[in-house]
């Protein structure tokens, strides 16, 4: 029997059939249901229209599939959506607001009128008014409103408008992360970011951000600036009624500012009342409280921006420089805004100083228009503790561009003599190279004649050209032997040039610097320094004379006493006093300056008034000063001429400063310091 060809297999070598996998078993079980759901058109076993309609099972499957796909897409979209890192420019930029010393607004800088305010500083009733108006479920919702999104979708499809239906979280997202365009894409992105933001930020932080970035009309962003624009006060001082009105503006400031039209007023009043009623329903105020608010809280009429240009720009410039320096703030951070700068400037003193200089300018232009055209006026008033109370920086800052009160342009002339006097009283004098200093008193006699040569212990002082240096008096007058107190009161130059040499020019310089003058303004240490070759600013001269009035203590001048950013205090390096001279010396200088005032202007002040002042002039007639103190305030006024179209060199005054007894700087000084008491 022939053998079978090919491989032989035994019974034990046969393979067992493979068991079906779990997936296969699941597929087999679901196959009948799938076959039922699978549309078969026309449907077998049906007649008429029913042959073409899906069964309920098919409808259910389609709905379930749609929901599943939509949910999956939403999950993917949520995961793929990131909270943008870059905020909108208008959401971060703020303005800086400057205040007078009495706390009233003075000026603002910046393109955006917005100031952040911590949520804790916004009254609860004001917050509740916003929630009642915009989103009463804010603290319980997930950041979005399904009903609102549905309404937005209907409006987008039907009318091309997505207004309405946004939660506060969504509105905040729109304010700080997105644009204001109205599209379904933007609305969807807004919802995704709002959901994610709601999981990452606290509700209080979101509400604070919303209240600080929302548009309220009148050029303002945020509740703080809106409160100032509509009610002239900080948001912390608002009540529920005022808060309800401001909340109504969130629906559209152009439609609800009642000062714009009668229709606006009607809308605003109706919405204001509705919001208060909602607050009762919402449980945030009682019916009894609501009953108190029967009269619509009329906002103030819209005013323009705070006064900038003219004098306030000079004040802003000074305050800005000081705030940056004392607060250690970079230019970049300061430009981002949000600062509240509380200045030392006194509104009434500033008005008085500006008014009196303006009158003097007009009078000069009328009397001598040719010479007055190139005239420059600078002035400053400073308290004994260093506070800058007022300045006159020139005409409109936007036309001139620099500050006359802070300019180191012309010599101090005889207004510098008190520092020579103080240096000698403080340190004594040396007539020889050896030995101790000889004390000096106000009654010490010096030669007051014109043309007296200046001497050193070795003999006459020679200049570089080989000529003897001599001092001269105004009008080349001779006074003979004269006491130092009388010489200062009578504006006699010659004793002080010699006194400066005897006391030591280094001592004169150090006394002037300790009193408040800047070293950079004093110039070469030569005999002429004693007669006022230094070129201090009006601010520095007022500050230095204030040292005499403060019994020898000096405070560096400052223009900002408090600085906050978004309500939080910013540390300032405030000036500390230092002793420039003994109190006795300061009083002796003040007594001589008081004699000077009484001699030059008898009857100008009551006999009980503690007034001290001195006229300052230069022999070349290129500067006229008046500097003096009264009632713990010192004021310096300077007048000079420069034709900036031709040169930076000072020109002769040619009479526009007036006569010595009734000169223009004194007239400005007395007007700014009035009443003298």
Alpha helices in 450-521 (DSSP H): 484-489, 494-503, 505-515
C-alpha–C-alpha distance, residues 449 and 451, integer Å? 7
Domain range for 173 is 122-292
Residue pair 267/255 in contact (Cβ under 8 Å)? The answer is yes
Q: What is the pLDDT of residue 58?
A: 61
Give the CA distances from residue 79 to residues 86, 147, 434, in Å, rounded to whole numbers and listed in that order.
19, 23, 89
State which of 239, 272, 292 marks the end of a domain: 292
Dig out the tokens for 243 from the structure: 């808060």
Q: CB count, 10 Å around CB of 85?
A: 6
- CB-neighbour burial class of residue 466 (10 A; exposed 0-12, middle 13-18, buried 19+): exposed
User: Could you report the per-residue pLDDT of 244-265, keeping only the tens digit for each?
Assistant: 999 999 988 888 999 888 999 9
The pLDDT of residue 161 is 41
User: Of 377, 364, 359, 360, which Cα lies nearest the Cα of 623?
Assistant: 377
Angstrom CA distances, 141 to 73, 120, 168, 170, 192, stand at 22, 22, 10, 11, 14
Closest of 315, 379, 318 to residue 347, by C-alpha: 315
* Mean residue pLDDT across the chain: 85
Out of 270, 292, 314, a domain closes at: 292
User: What are the start-end ranges of the H helices in 46-145?
Assistant: 56-80, 89-92, 124-134
DSSP state of 651: B
Q: How many domains does the chain have?
A: 2
Q: Tell me the per-residue pLDDT of 635-658, one tens digit each, with 9 for 90 and over.
A: 999 999 999 888 889 999 999 998
Q: What is the structure's pLDDT at 432?
A: 86
Rounded distance between C-alpha atoms, residue 243 and residue 310, angstroms: 35
Three-state SS for 565?
strand
Based on the fold, state whether residues 500 and 632 are members of the same structural domain.
yes
216 assigned to some structural domain = yes
Q: Kindly state whether residue 177 falls inside one of the protein's structural domains.
A: yes
What is the predicted pLDDT for the residue at 478? Answer: 96
Measured between alpha carbons, how far is 97 from 104 in angstroms, rounded to an integer? 10
**Does a structural domain hold residue 673?**
no
Specify the CATH number for the domain of residue 559. Answer: 3.40.710.10
CA 636 to chain centre: 27
For residue 345, being part of any structural domain is answered with: no
Longest dimension (CA), the chain: 168
218 is a domain residue: yes
**Is 351 domain-assigned?**
no
The span from the CA of 126 to the CA of 134, in Å, is 12
Q: Is 670 part of any domain?
A: no
Query: Does pTM surpass 0.75?
Result: no
Q: What is the pLDDT of residue 148?
A: 61
Phi, psi of 390 (to 5 degrees): -160, 150
- Taking Cα atoms as reference points, which of 113, 142, 303 lies closest to residue 212? 113
pLDDT of 555? 97
Task: Judge whether 455 lies within some domain.
Answer: yes
pLDDT of res. 180? 47
Same domain, 288 and 418: no
Q: What is the pLDDT of residue 159?
A: 47
Strands 215-217 and 113-114: unpaired
**Co-location of 287 and 417 in the same domain:** no
Is residue 280 located within the same domain as residue 419? no
User: What pLDDT, on a 0 to 100 scale, did the predictor assign at position 431?
Assistant: 87
Q: What is the pLDDT of residue 47?
A: 66
d(CA 249, CA 247): 5
Q: Which residues of the chain have pLDDT under 70?
A: 1-23, 26, 30-31, 33-63, 65-93, 110-113, 143, 145-165, 177-190, 192, 302-309, 332, 661-662
Beta strands in 344-448 (DSSP E): 375-383, 388-392, 445-447
Same domain, 593 and 450: yes
The β-bridge partners of 471 are none
Q: Is the peptide bond before 276 cis (omega within 30 degrees of 0)?
A: no
Please name the helix (run of DSSP H) or strand (run of DSSP E) that holds residue 221, with its range, or none.
Answer: strand 220-221
Report d(CA 534, CA 519) in Å as an integer.
9
Residue-level pLDDT at 91: 58
Q: What's the CATH number where 201 sits?
A: 1.10.3810.10
- Chain-centroid distance of CA 550 in Å reads 30
For 209-234, the pLDDT digits (tens) are 889 888 888 878 889 888 988 998 88
């Amino acid at each position: 029997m022939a053998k079978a060809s090919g491989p032989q297999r035994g019974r034990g070598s046969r393979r067992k059939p493979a068991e079906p996998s779990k997936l296969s078993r699941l597929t087999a079980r679901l196959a009948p249901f799938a076959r039922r759901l699978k549309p078969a058109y026309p449907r077998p076993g049906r007649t008429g229209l029913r042959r073409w309609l899906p069964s309920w099972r098919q409808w259910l499957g389609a709905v379930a599939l749609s929901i599943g796909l939509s949910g999956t897409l939403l999950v993917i979209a949520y995961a793929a959506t990131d909270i943008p890192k870059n905020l909108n420019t208008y959401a971060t930029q703020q303005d800086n607001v400057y205040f007078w010393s009495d706390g009233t607004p003075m000026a603002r800088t910046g393109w955006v009128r917005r100031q952040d305010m911590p949520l804790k500083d916004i009254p609860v009733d004001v917050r509740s008014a916003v929630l009642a108006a915009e989103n009463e479920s804010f603290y319980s919702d997930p950041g979005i409103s399904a009903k609102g999104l549905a309404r937005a979708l209907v409006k987008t499809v039907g009318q091309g408008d997505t207004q309405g239906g946004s939660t506060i979280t969504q509105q905040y997202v729109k304010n700080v992360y997105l644009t204001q365009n109205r599209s379904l894409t933007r609305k969807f992105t807004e919802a995704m970011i709002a959901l994610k933001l709601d999981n990452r930020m606290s509700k209080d932080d979101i509400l604070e951000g919303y209240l600080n970035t929302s548009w309220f009309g009148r050029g303002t962003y945020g509740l703080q600036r809106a409160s100032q624009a509509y009610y002239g006060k900080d948001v912390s001082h608002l009540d529920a009624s005022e808060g309800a009105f401001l909340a109504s503006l969130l629906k559209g400031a152009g439609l609800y500012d009642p000062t714009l039209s009668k229709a606006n007023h009607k809308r605003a009043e109706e919405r204001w009342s509705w919001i208060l009623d909602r607050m009762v329903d919402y449980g945030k105020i009682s019916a009894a409280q609501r009953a108190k608010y029967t009269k619509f809280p009329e906002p103030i009429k819209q005013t323009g921006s705070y006064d900038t240009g003219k004098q306030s720009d000079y004040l802003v410039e000074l305050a800005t420089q000081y705030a940056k320096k004392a607060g250690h703030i970079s230019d970049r951070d300061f430009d981002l805004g949000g600062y509240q700068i509380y200045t030392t400037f006194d509104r009434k003193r500033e008005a008085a100083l500006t008014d009196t200089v303006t009158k003097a300018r007009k009078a000069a232009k009328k009397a001598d228009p040719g010479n007055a055209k190139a005239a420059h006026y600078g002035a400053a008033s400073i308290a004994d503790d260093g506070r800058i109370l007022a300045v006159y920086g020139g005409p409109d800052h936007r036309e001139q561009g620099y500050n006359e009160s802070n300019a180191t342009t012309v010599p101090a002339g005889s207004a510098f003599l008190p520092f020579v006097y103080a240096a000698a009283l403080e340190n004594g004098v040396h007539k020889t190279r050896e030995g101790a200093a000889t004390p000096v008193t106000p009654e010490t006699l010096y030669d007051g004649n014109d043309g007296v040569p200046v001497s050193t212990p070795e003999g006459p002082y020679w200049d570089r050209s080989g000529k003897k240096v001599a001092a001269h008096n105004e009008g080349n007058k001779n006074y003979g032997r004269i006491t130092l107190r009388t010489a200062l009161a009578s504006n006699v130059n010659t004793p002080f040039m010699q006194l400066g040499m005897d006391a030591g020019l280094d001592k004169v310089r150090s006394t002037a610097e300790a009193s408040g003058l800047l070293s950079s303004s004093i110039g070469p240490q030569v005999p002429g320094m004693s007669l006022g070759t230094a070129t201090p600013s009006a601010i520095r001269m007022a500050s230095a004379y204030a040292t005499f009035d403060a019994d020898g203590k000096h405070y560096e001048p400052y223009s900002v006493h408090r600085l906050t950013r978004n309500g939080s205090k910013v540390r300032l390096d405030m000036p500390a006093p230092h002793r420039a001279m003994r109190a006795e010396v300061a009083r002796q200088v003040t007594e001589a300056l008081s004699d000077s005032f009484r001699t030059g202007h008898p009857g100008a002040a009551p006999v009980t008034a503690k007034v001290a002042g001195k006229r300052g002039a230069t022999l070349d007639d290129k500067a006229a000063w008046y500097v003096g103190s009264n009632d713990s305030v010192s004021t310096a006024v300077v007048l000079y001429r420069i034709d900036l179209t031709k040169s930076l060199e000072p020109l002769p005054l040619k009479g526009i400063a007036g006569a010595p007894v009734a000169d223009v700087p004194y007239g400005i000084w007395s007007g700014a310091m009035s009443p003298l008491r």
